[in-house]
Amino acid sequence: MTCARCQNSGFLNLHQVPERIVEAGLEVILEWIKANRDTDATVCDCCGNGESWYGEPGEHFAGGDLGGNNGPYAYNGGLPECS
């Protein structure tokens, strides 16, 4: 399921990252964020944990957390933040 919080980009506040960095790909964006701690850009905390993703960037965790008792969304009854 596509993450609406980050518009399927895998990042929050991606508009703060220079376009040339965004075009260079995920790893380059992550390195830029690490080197520029004054930015609010970060890995999405809905499809990831703020540092890495639960699966594919911009997609919700699909590891069987339907009951809400396990997985990264257990705190929210098994539902991602943007559901």
**Number of structural domains the chain divides into:** 1
Beta-bridged to residue 12, according to DSSP, are 42
Tell me which range, 1-5, 20-24, 49-53, 79-83, is most confidently predicted by mean pLDDT.
20-24
Whether residue 78 lies inside any domain: the answer is: no
Give the domain range for residue 23: 1-62
pLDDT at 19: 98
Q: What one-letter code names the amino acid at 52?
A: S
Please, which residues have CB within 8 angstroms of residue 63's CB and are 6 or more apart in sequence? 54, 55, 71
Is residue 9 situated within a structural domain?
yes
Would residue 74 count as lying in a domain? no
CA dihedral 5→35→53→60, nearest 10 degrees, is 10
Per-residue buried b or exposed e for 27-45, using 16+ beta carbons within 10 Å of the residue's own CB: eebbebbeeeeeeebbbbe
Segment 12-56, tens digit of pLDDT = 999 999 999 999 999 999 999 999 999 999 999 999 988 899 889
Let me know if residue 81 belongs to a domain: no
Average pLDDT over residues 55-69: 73
- Would 35 be classed as within a structural domain? yes
In-domain check, residue 80: no
Give a yes or no: residue 55 inside a domain. Answer: yes
Q: What pLDDT, on the 0 to 100 scale, is given for residue 17? A: 98
